[in-house]
Structure 1
């Protein structure tokens, strides 16, 4: 489906309203395959004005009861999705189709299902935000023990780095034997 600018839609609606060309001739004039979008734009413009033709950046959410009211209205009156959408103030009639399908497949409960990922529960949010060792919860003694452990690891790393820099081949040969003996362990 081609995306048309608001300016283009408004231009076609106004040209149609001058009465010189009908829907089909306008569609041909502007290289459109079908005149249906033009009919829809004219109806939307007549009901909502220029703002109805503007594309919305956010998706509106509708209550389950509102969706049921719309579907019942369609069933009772035999109105099309387009006419029903205009009657209820919805500028995009294609939102009604999925509601109808969901209702036919799963009843009213299916209309309540949200699309996408469900929101996180409070418990999950708290779990996600916690860090394993938060410093504000550590005692002074625990902080010192942690710092000592990090310093020991740093010293050990620097010793190995110095040994490698002094004799890279000897260091690799010495540690090669250790790695080979670990990798030759029999597997069960």
Structure 2
């Protein structure tokens, strides 16, 4: 079975059309030339992960050998459908699972995804606080394209993903490497602390501008669809 690759813009168009549809699901899928399984999969990913979820099928994600074998064995047991397993193991797409199944049934060993990947994907590097903030803001501006940010700045996919999550939870302060720095921070003067607060506000404004740009991009997609 062959699987097509769909862009983020196309998936967004389909989901917007689904939300405002005045036809049956079958007619909608026929119009966009997709199957109902794909539509269902995109809806679940969007509901669970937002826009990031719609990128999962085209964004590299690491999987352990144990997870791959568990997913394949569950499928071969006949107790689960591919759709069930994609959701259960949080696999990026059915095509990824199908490749594992084909690999396994061809008597080839399943391996950790990280093996054989480029250094920017498999290994990280030391970064400064300012670098991490810059990388996160660029990633948010590009709709959380983790792999693009990792390749551009020669860091790992995992690093970018973790930095974005930390930033969303706690702002730029959450991106500090606090190991061994507690005493140093306690010794800051009131002026130093005020400067840090000003920089934090500036970076928060940068984050909001990045998110606004991405929202405008989605709105433009919707306008073109009308």
How would you bin the TM-score normalised by the shorter chain? Answer: 0.3 to 0.5
TM-score, L = length of structure 2: 0.41
* Greater relative contact order structure (CA < 8 Å, 6+ sep): 2
Considering only CA atoms, is the larger Rg found in Structure 1 or Structure 2? 1
TM-score, L = length of structure 1: 0.47
